[in-house]
């Protein structure tokens, strides 16, 4: 047999629409309405300001270790804009912009980073999973959800998010292979922020792109400018349309940059230069989108001042609600099993009786009697 090139049926493309000066390519512009654009700008700004507030809360010892998303807002907000309520959103831990767009209350996000499991409870009306810190484990959850949608004939799409470091995990590759074999309605978004904690992108993979991994699993992919809200919307919309019509999965590599720390337990000055960070600041998605909004006459200084004031008050109230939250001690019993077994119910009653006895001694407030009936 002669040696010949193998023709692969699937393709990958690169996409960028909005440049660093706020100019959009008219041929690729998603043509959003002024109302949609203003909502997106506010959502991106809200995510940034919440991120900054959470960082301060952690430094003050008021929440636990926190992983900022500064500079990566467009990478999750674009796909979230495309998602329908019945679609599935499976995040990692750097998607607060998408979470807020999907209706997650800010106080729940604050509580999650404060170590309260209430922060992992999904709001009514959306098919979301909570924040996932273990690297790439959520990819398998997303593939399973997508498989379930296909088996039921449900037109919903599963959107999964991970970082570039997650592409080295077996869970990612198993999910990709499964999605490709079964042609699932599965969209995987890699937030390639160039650093897997202290490991640079070029030590993560020698492949020129991360998106090309989709070819090995038999489906299409696109490398989008992850700091370009328009590019992320267009890439996610095309992928979702394909998934809903039986066209199978898509891998999206969102090329972005982590402007801040990996988490508050990390010091990036130990492994990357200030010069590198400075090179990425002009590509900041919020700065670019702000320039576009001003250039098109949809935003001015007065409007920004008003939005900033509204957001500051929303965040203040969210922090106040979060810090007033009182966990229910009975939740550890209620949420261990779907139906509480008799042995655990006995432990729950014993716990309540003990708490009642302590209450009579020191006058502290204890669970209501109804909790014993619930248990």
Write out the catalytic residue numbers: 258, 262, 271
**How many CB atoms sit inside 10 A of residue 25's CB?**
13
Q: How far is CA 87 from CA 39, 152, 190, 243, 247, in A?
A: 20, 14, 18, 11, 16
Query: 67: buried, middle or exposed (CB in 10 Å: 19+, 13-18, 0-12)?
Result: buried
Q: What is the DSSP string of 276-323?
A: HHHHHGGG-HHHHHHHHHHHTTS--HHHHHHHHHHHHHHHHHHHHHHH
**C-alpha span between 71 and 194 (Å, rounded):** 12
Q: Are 248 and 217 in contact (CB under 8 A)?
A: no
């Amino acid at each position: 047999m002669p040696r010949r090139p193998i023709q692969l049926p699937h393709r990958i493309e690169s996409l960028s629409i909005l440049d660093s000066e706020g100019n959009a390519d008219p041929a690729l512009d998603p043509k959003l309405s002024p109302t949609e654009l203003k909502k997106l700008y506010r959502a991106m700004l809200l995510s940034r300001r919440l991120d900054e507030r959470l960082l301060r809360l952690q430094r003050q010892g008021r929440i636990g270790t926190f992983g900022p998303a500064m500079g990566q807002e467009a990478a999750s907000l674009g796909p979230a804009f495309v998602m329908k309520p019945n679609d599935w959103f499976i995040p990692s831990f750097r998607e607060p912009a998408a979470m807020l767009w999907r209706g997650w209350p800010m106080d729940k996000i604050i509580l999650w980073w404060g170590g309260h499991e209430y922060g992992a409870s999904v709001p009514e009306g959306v098919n979301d999973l909570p924040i996932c810190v273990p690297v790439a484990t959520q990819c398998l959850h997303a593939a399973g959800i997508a498989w379930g949608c296909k088996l039921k004939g449900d037109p919903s799409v599963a959107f999964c998010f991970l970082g570039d470091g997650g592409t080295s995990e077996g869970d990612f590759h198993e999910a990709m292979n499964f999605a490709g074999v079964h042609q699932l309605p599965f969209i995987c978004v890699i937030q390639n922020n160039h650093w897997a904690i202290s490991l640079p992108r070029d030590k993560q993979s020698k492949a020129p792109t991360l998106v090309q991994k989709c070819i090995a699993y038999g489906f299409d992919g696109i490398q989008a400018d992850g700091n370009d809200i328009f590019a992320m919307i267009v890439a996610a919309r095309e992928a979702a349309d394909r998934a809903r019509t039986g066209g199978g999965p898509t891998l999206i590599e969102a090329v972005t940059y982590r402007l801040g720390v990996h988490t508050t337990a990390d010091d990036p000055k130990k492994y990357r230069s200030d010069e590198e960070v400075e090179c990425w600041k002009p590509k900041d998605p919020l700065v670019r989108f702000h320039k576009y909004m001003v250039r098109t006459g949809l935003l001015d200084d007065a409007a920004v001042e008003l939005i900033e004031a509204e957001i500051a008050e929303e965040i203040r109230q969210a922090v106040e609600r979060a810090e007033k939250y009182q966990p229910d001690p009975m939740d550890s019993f209620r949420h261990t099993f779907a139906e509480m077994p008799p042995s655990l119910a006995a432990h729950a009653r014993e716990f309540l009786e003990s708490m009642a006895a302590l209450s009579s001694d020191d006058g502290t407030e204890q669970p209501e009697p109804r909790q014993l009936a619930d248990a």
